Structure 1
């Protein structure tokens, strides 16, 4: 048996057949509040140090991307990506450099973001 098409009665009593609704549109992958708090905390500290100046967020069917820019018109300096398809393999979080190299990949966001932390300087 296939999809059942509903029959709609108009005001005049004539029946019309409506095509069955297609499958619902796939949901977009997003960062949850906890993940965004971690990312924006790091971003805020790096902005305060003068390292980063702008960001962009992109949500697609496959992954969520937080792109970090040194200047507004540049290519992203780093991309923090969340790809749930890789959750059981290498980990769904990764940090990608401007050249496309994966700097860190893992299952836990704080550990992956640690690669972007600047070491403390002795004064």
Structure 2
């Protein structure tokens, strides 16, 4: 299955617009989109949705996401991966790395992991 991204609702829609500009066949959803999760969904539910639907989560939630991932894994669950934006955010580098990941990553390369973008 190709890489698919679920963008956290706190990321600007510009991320999806630019990702699709660079790679039009990429599947990019944002929390709040029809058929996805509603805005305000709690992080543990987001992780379950990503697991069930095969999406890598892209978020700027550096503080609590590691805790939620640990709890998710302790329950015997899994996730295709979490990509957390580094500070300060360089949107150009983030977008370039997200496209690179989508084009070059192995299907399970980010499985059950938190990684940071830009990749550096």
Which of the pair has the greater relative contact order for Cα pairs under 8 Å at 6+ separation? Answer: 2
When you count strand as a share of all residues, which structure comes out higher? 1
Larger radius of gyration: 1
Q: TM-score, normalised by structure 1?
A: 0.31
Q: TM-score, normalised by structure 2?
A: 0.32
When you count helix as a share of all residues, which structure comes out higher? 2
